[in-house]
Chain A
Amino acid sequence: MDFDPFVLARIQFATNISFHILFPAISIGLAWILLFFRVRFTQTGEQAWEYAYLFWVKIFALTFAMGVVSGITMSFQFGTNWPGFMEKAGNVAGPLLGYEVLSAFFLEASFLGIMLFGKDRVSNRMHLISALLVALGTTLSAFWILSLNSWMQTPTGYYLENGVVMVDSWMEVIFNPSFPYRFFHMLIACLLTSAFLIAGVSAWRALRNVDGPATWKVMKTGVVIAAVLAPVQIFIGDLHGLNTLEHQPAKIAAMEAVWETEKGAPFTVFGLPDEASKSNRYAIEVPYAASLILTHDPMGEVKGLNEFEGEHPPVAIVFWSFRIMLAVGGLMLLVAWWAAWQLRNKNTATKPLLYSLAAMTFSGWVAVLAGWYVTEIGRQPWIVSGVLKVQDVVAEHSSATVGGTLFGYILLYGFLLASYIGALLNLSRKPAASLSLSAINAPQTVNKEV
């Protein structure tokens, strides 16, 4: 069988970025949650808060390392696989990535060292500041990379000179139309992912009676964050959708599998979009709902895929990714509110709740991946919407080269993902006290300075 190197290069990029995003999705949210634990410990002096911090900082360190090493891959991939992107759009992409490295990467990497190992070498205040700087660094990093990603979706502030993107206004480039929505949608997604992770792992620990008070506090923190942010996320997601309708109607048409432009378009709950016949088989539809959701008017007009003949994204995968994201999001809202209600009114957690929370541990990952597939595959065939096509920027490697390295990446990532979850399970069995003795006590100096 002969593989198209272009398709392989796309699969390789998708594999790399899908693996990478799993870890920032946790570390961006968890960094702020850790800061909260540290602040609570400083305020109350309760050992439970310290245990909460000590346990989760271990998982943070592991997650962060996974994010860093898989992120280094990304910075090289642009050159090894997509050199045309940098040649044509480098004037925008270069500086935005550069600012990410300069303002965020060094900050988080340097102060992470103090946060993890410096507790006995710096004051409590400096340690708190380090935790704050790490959290700020992760968020700044998200700011720049999402600005670039949003610019690729909705480019503004540029002009073309011999096919090369030149910058007109940096403000318009950075704060392009879809950026604010995507940035907040992603930040909240990260917080929700972390909230379900900490609540889920804590539920699992509670079922095994590990670290009573600390586990309880962490679970409560996760549940409260999730219960508050899940509805906010749905609201921002709606705004984000309206923004996409305005700037990238082809993506919306694919998300909703609307084949012909129509007024009063139905929302297809289930269906198998078929590009050959341009229809949805076995469709279950809610009349007028798509128009109502997208235009906030039941008779509003929704543009169909017929308007973007040959330049619209693949329909089925975008349609289904969107539905998976919605379903997981809805489930997160339900579980979070159920948990919040039970924790508040009964001040205890029943077994069914604990099992549900544990089952939802990685629900954030599913929603984040599905959401990114909607937005990234929904941008196809463009790499920069309306400006540059993906097929025009790919490097010419043989399919053996790209296929071989792709195979290597898949093996490596499969192994690493299994190891990551394995390590999480392994740590979850242990009480924080058993993990952290040498980090709490004065350092045991093996060899003193002469």
Chain B
Amino acid sequence: MEYWLPIIYMGIMGLALLIYVILDGYDLGVGMLVPLAGEAEKDMMIASIGPFWDANETWIVLGVGVLLIAFPTAHGIILTSLYLPVTIMLMGLILRGVAFDLRVKAGDHRRGLWNKAFFAGSLISSSAQGWMLGAYITGLQASTTSLLFSALIAMTLPALYLVLGCGWLLMKTDGELRNKAIGWARMAIWPMGLGLFMVSIATPLVSSTIAEKWFTLPNALYLMPIPMICLFCYGLIVAALNKPTMLDKNRSYLIYVSTVAICLMASLGLAYSLFPDIIIGGLTIWESAASVKSLQFTLVGVVITLPVILFYTYFVYRIFHGKATALSYE
């Protein structure tokens, strides 16, 4: 138990954060795209994420919650070292979260202001998350390289969210807006590729143990599928964006699903790199784990509720499937 429980929790935390990225990623992405769209399109875009964003955001609460429940020591260290980016992210999330409602409820003369707040909040949160990711995978060091790297990821993670957002709009909208989404994705795909590439090469450069895990035989061979699938999906996205007919006939999901596959592979790769550390080169998951009794108590709840949560999340997406309809926040 003492050996397995922290591993199980590591898995749950990874899963929660992965789901967060692929779900809240698209609605943050749509938020950043709003200024590029016309007035009616803005309403449509926000309508397409309206029923979902709240639950999407809950996944980061679960992710940080599991960190807190299972690895209290690491939770303290990570969040205190990321104090400023976390605070900035929270302010961004607050701003965009209230903007959904206030842009229609605060009165017509305030709509422009709240549209801007919605955009700014989405951008600020995405960037801050990129900064946090960059700082985390360079081992939470305060070195210049680490800062530069964090800044780079802060600029490129929003691009991943933009592609997810465009992928979402391709599935949920039609006509002119859908064409625009293809155009936006064409621009976002390159910084996204750069960001992914940088994240992939950073961990082996930061830690020689991680480099050894990846670049010795036979491990390197077994791990080949991870970069291969990433490259394949990336190529698929680029191809589809250049030849939009590939997205016709119920294949609207192609961009979104491919991006999700990339996220999945990236997180598997990251998990393999990190394990068994929770702070690279600093603390293992066992060193920072909470007491077995507390972990067991919570695990009962996780085993019962997580499948139920996944089920009704699916249920909600099922209810709102298909192209978005104009819904009224007013």
Contacts and interface: CB of A to CB of B under 8 A. Distances in A.
Given A58-B105, A397-B80, A422-B106, A449 B323 contact: yes
B69 interface: yes
A283 interface: no
A405 B80 CA distance: 13
B71 to A, nearest CB: 9
A438 B326 contact: yes
Question: From DSSP, what is the main secondary structure of chain B's interface residues?
Answer: helix
B294 A69 contact: no
Interface string A307-340: 0000000000000000000000000000000000
Interface string B286-313: 0000110110011001100110010011
Question: From DSSP, what is the main secondary structure of chain A's interface residues?
Answer: helix
B57 A94 contact: no
Given A70-B94, A79-B78, A117-B327, 7 more contacts: A69-B94, A72-B60, A99-B301, A106-B309, A106-B312, A114-B51, A446-B44
A325 B61 CA distance: 32
A166 B87 CA distance: 31
Contacts of B110: 422
8 contacts: A80-B79, A102-B305, A103-B305, A105-B61, A110-B313, A167-B294, A412-B94, A423-B101
Contacts of B316: 110-111, 113-114
B151 interface: no
Interface in B162-187: 173-175
> Which of A61, A71, A446 has the largest number of chain B CB atoms within 10 A?
A446
Interface string A115-139: 0111001100000000000000000
A216 B78 CA distance: 53
Q: How large is the interface on B (under 10, 10 to 19, 20 to 34, 35 or more residues)?
A: 35 or more
Given A167-B297, A412-B94, A426-B105, A101 B80 contact: no
B119 interface: no
Contacts, number: 245
Contact of B301 (A98, A113, A122, A446): A98
A29 B114 CA distance: 28
B106 A426 contact: yes
A438 B76 contact: no
A95 B294 contact: yes
A134 to B, nearest CB: 11
A435 B106 CA distance: 13
A405 B293 CA distance: 37
Interface string B54-97: 11011011101111111011011111101110110011011101
A445 B325 contact: yes
A62 B79 contact: no
B75 A86 contact: yes
A445 B69 CA distance: 44
Interface string A69-101: 111110110111001101100111111011101
A427 B105 contact: yes
A122 B319 contact: yes
B275 interface: no
B277 to A, nearest CB: 18
A95 B298 contact: yes
The 8 A-B residue pairs with the shortest CB-CB distance in the complex, in nearest-first order:
A83-B76, A79-B79, A90-B72, A113-B51, A94-B69, A69-B97, A447-B174, A109-B55
B325 A68 contact: no
B330 interface: yes
Given A58-B105, A111-B312, A65 B319 contact: no
Contacts of A76: 64, 79, 86, 90
B60 to A, nearest CB: 7
B290 A91 contact: yes
A427 B107 CA distance: 8
A399 to B, nearest CB: 13
Interface in B80-134: 80, 82-84, 86-87, 90-91, 93-95, 97-98, 100-102, 105-107, 110
A450 interface: yes
Contact of B72 (A86, A405, A426): A86
B48 to A, nearest CB: 10
